[in-house]
Amino acid sequence: MSKPIAIVATLLLVLTYLLIESQSLDQGPRVRMQQSLQAIQLHDAELNRDVLMARAGLLANYDPLVQTGRKLSLDLEALKREGAVIARREPGIVKKISALAGAIGQKLASVEYLKSDNALLRNSLAYFAQSLGTVREQPNTRESTMEVAALSHGMLRFVQGPDAADESGWRNDERSIRHDRALGHASGIWLALSHASS
């Protein structure tokens, strides 16, 4: 008889403990904090996807980036609210949430710069392609046309994967074209070079 009594007593003890734990103030905030963290993960992934689409010229406008940024900020506010409750027992959590908030803030600031730069890039690429097309109609030497083609190719490579070597390559092409008198009169070519430089 003593064994079943011990089992029942143990079960009662465990259930009582779980009941008290489930009713403690910490449980609600903890669950909500986990939900906020999951929402942050989800919206961060959405933001990454939209950034890549914008970079590839596949995002029709920047509204999705703004909307996802707003969602991330709201998630973060919710996380801070729940974190403040949990911090009464675990003060260390404040520092962790603050670090996460800093990282999200930096990311959103970077996205702002991406939008500004991407707008210029898209505009310049369109103009660059159009202007270089006009060079073919100019009475230039074959050599000059080759230089322009090299610049065009270099710039496209730079846009695909910017690195210092590519940049120095097309900047050399650009300088060479700027010194070419025959091309100097080509319609729109100087402006195309300005777009390339910017």
Stretch that binds other proteins, among 56-64, 85-93, 99-107, 179-187 (CB under 8 A): 56-64
The contacts of residue 16 (CB under 8 Å, 6+ apart) are none
Quote the CA–CA distance of 184 and 173 in Å, as a whole number: 14
Per rule CB under 8 A, is residue 159 in the interface with other proteins?
no
Stretch that binds other proteins, among 41-49, 83-91, 152-160, 187-195 (CB under 8 A): 187-195
Stretch that binds other proteins, among 62-70, 133-141, 156-164, 169-177 (CB under 8 A): 62-70
Residue type at 120 in one-letter notation: L
Count of residues binding other proteins (CB under 8 A)? Answer: 24
Orientation of helix 92-135 relative to helix 63-86, angle to 10°: 170
Dmax (CA) for the chain in angstroms is 109
Quote the CA–CA distance of 124 and 175 in Å, as a whole number: 18
Per rule CB under 8 A, is residue 30 in the interface with other proteins?
no
Nearer to other proteins, 110 or 141 (CB): 110
Per rule CB under 8 A, is residue 191 in the interface with other proteins?
yes
Structure tokens at 125: 């690429």
Q: How far is the CB of 18 from other proteins (least distance, A)?
A: 34
The contacts of residue 84 (CB under 8 Å, 6+ apart) are 94
Task: By CB under 8 A, name the binding residues for other proteins.
Answer: 60-63, 65-66, 69-70, 73, 109, 112-113, 115-116, 119-120, 122-123, 126-127, 191, 194-195, 198
